[in-house]
Amino acid sequence: MVSAEYDLGYIEAALPVLESYLLAEDVYWSLVAAPPGGGPTYPNLTLGTLLLTLQKLRARSLSRDQQFELERAESKIGRQQSQWRSAWEKKSSREFGARLRLWRNYLEDYRRDAENNVDRYAYEVSRRVMLTLLTDFADPANEEIELLHGLDIMLQSVFIPGSFIWGEEYASGFPVDRFWYLYGELADNLE
């Protein structure tokens, strides 16, 4: 996983363009910022990525300065969300559909060839986490809710409960009752 500085940098890069992003049609928005210490390029700005990054930062043990920076950023994001509530909800709903399709595609790849896709789970499950976080703001269509429910049933049938898969430093931010799919792994074959 990346450092707290990296995640805080992502949030800081997103803040100046958040309003423009919310008012644009794009679901994915390129960020023009250099990550600290030559880290990986920042992902595109999406509400799902923003919410996931905030959730991860809340779970981490941060320095006093980092905690202050996080609280300041959350306050600014909260103001944008309140000011542009309708745009936030519309963007969340559009991203929900996009993330749902990506999550479905991964699970279909896994079902067709478990052995060659099982090792991608720790990365791909971030899409399922984003779906959970986006539901707080999105208004998904009934067929999207039904599809997600069906995908969860399929996932449960091949899921092996276990320990938290993203490292203990994040576990407190992702309680098992809401994020059960982060506490275990997939079977490496379906036979």
**What H or E segment, with its residue span, contains residue 142?**
helix 142-158
Alpha carbon distance 118, 186 (integer Å): 6
Q: Mean pLDDT over residues 166-180, rounded?
A: 95
Q: Where are the domains of the chain?
A: 4-87, 95-186
- Where residue 32 falls among pLDDT bands split at 50, 70, 90? confident
Identify the bridge partners of residue 185 per DSSP, sorted by sequence position: 160
Give the pLDDT score at 191: 64
Spell out the residues 6+ positions from residue 99 whose beta carbon is closer than 8 angstroms to its own.
48, 127, 130, 131, 134
- What percentage of the chain exceeds 70 in pLDDT? 98
Rounded CA separation 55/174 (Å): 8
